[in-house]
C-alpha cells in the first residue's frame, strides 16, 4: 500500500504534520490565552505586557514543529538540492520520527493555552503572583520540549 506513495512522500507527510499540527495547536493555544488577555485588558490596559507574555508562551510549539520540519527536510535533501531517493521504509522512519512533535505539539499547545488563560486570571486578581502562572505554563512546556527532543533524536539517527 505504501509503495504507491513512495518514501519521499511519506517523509514529507510526517514533516508537514509536525509543522502543521504543532502550528494549529499554537494558534488555538495563543487564541485561548488571547481571549482571556483581551478580557483583562478591557478592564486594566496597564497589564498588557504581562498578558502578552502569557499569551505568547503557547506559540512555542509551532516554532518547535517548524524546527522538526526543517531538520527532516534538510536530512531528506530538500533544502540543499541533494534530494535523497528514500525507500518506503526510510520514508516511514521520517514519518514516525515527526509524530511526537506533531501530536505532542498539538496537544501541549492547547493545554498550555488553557493554563495561560488561567494564569491571566491570576494576573487579574493577584497581580503580584502572576509569575506563579508562568511556572504553571512552563510545566506544560516541558512536555513540548520532550516531544521536540524525541523527534529530533529520531530524525538525526535515520541513516
Length of the chain: 159
Domain segments of the chain: what residues?
22-156
The CATH classification of domain 22-156, taken from the options 3.30.230.70, 1.20.120.610, 3.30.70.20, 3.40.710.10: 1.20.120.610
Nearest to 18 by CA among 74, 66, 59: 66
Q: Give me the pLDDT at residue 40, please.
A: 96
pLDDT for 79 equals 84
Nearest of 111, 99, 98, 101 to residue 28 by alpha carbon: 111
Extended beta strands in the chain, E state: none
Residue 127 DSSP class:
G
With cut-offs at 50, 70 and 90, classify the pLDDT of residue 4: low
Give the residue among 92, 85, 80, 110 at the shortest CA–CA distance from 15.
92
Q: Would you place residue 1 in the very low, low, confident or very high pLDDT band (cuts 50, 70, 90)?
A: low
Q: Say how far apart CA 29 and CA 155 lie, in whole Å.
A: 26
pLDDT in tens, 5-42: 689 999 999 999 999 999 999 999 999 999 999 999 99
C-alpha cell at position 101: 512533535
Q: Does the pTM of the predicted model rise above 0.85? A: yes
* Separation CA 124–CA 126 (nearest Å): 6
Q: Above 90 in pLDDT, residue 3?
A: no
Q: Mind listing the pLDDT tens digit for each residue in 56-103? A: 999 999 999 999 999 999 999 988 878 878 999 999 999 999 999 999
Amino acid at each position: 500500500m505504501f509503495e504507491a506513495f513512495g518514501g519521499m512522500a511519506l517523509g514529507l507527510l510526517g514533516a508537514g504534520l509536525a509543522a502543521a499540527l504543532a502550528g494549529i495547536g499554537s494558534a488555538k493555544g495563543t487564541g485561548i490565552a488571547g481571549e482571556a488577555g483581551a478580557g483583562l485588558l478591557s478592564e486594566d490596559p496597564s497589564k498588557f505586557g504581562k498578558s502578552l507574555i502569557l499569551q505568547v508562551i503557547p506559540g512555542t510549539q509551532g516554532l518547535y514543529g517548524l524546527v522538526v520540519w526543517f531538520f527532516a527536510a534538510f536530512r531528506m535533501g530538500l533544502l540543499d538540492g541533494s534530494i535523497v531517493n528514500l525507500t518506503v521504509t526510510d520514508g516511514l522512519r521520517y514519518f514516525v520520527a515527526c509524530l511526537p512533535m506533531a501530536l505532542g505539539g498539538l496537544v501541549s499547545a492547547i493545554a498550555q493555552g488553557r493554563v495561560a488563560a488561567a494564569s491571566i486570571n491570576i494576573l487579574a486578581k493577584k497581580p503580584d503572583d502572576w509569575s506563579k502562572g508562568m511556572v504553571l505554563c512552563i510545566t506544560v512546556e516541558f512536555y513540548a520540549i520532550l516531544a521536540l527532543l524525541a523527534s529530533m533524536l529520531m530524525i538525526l539517527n535515520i541513516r
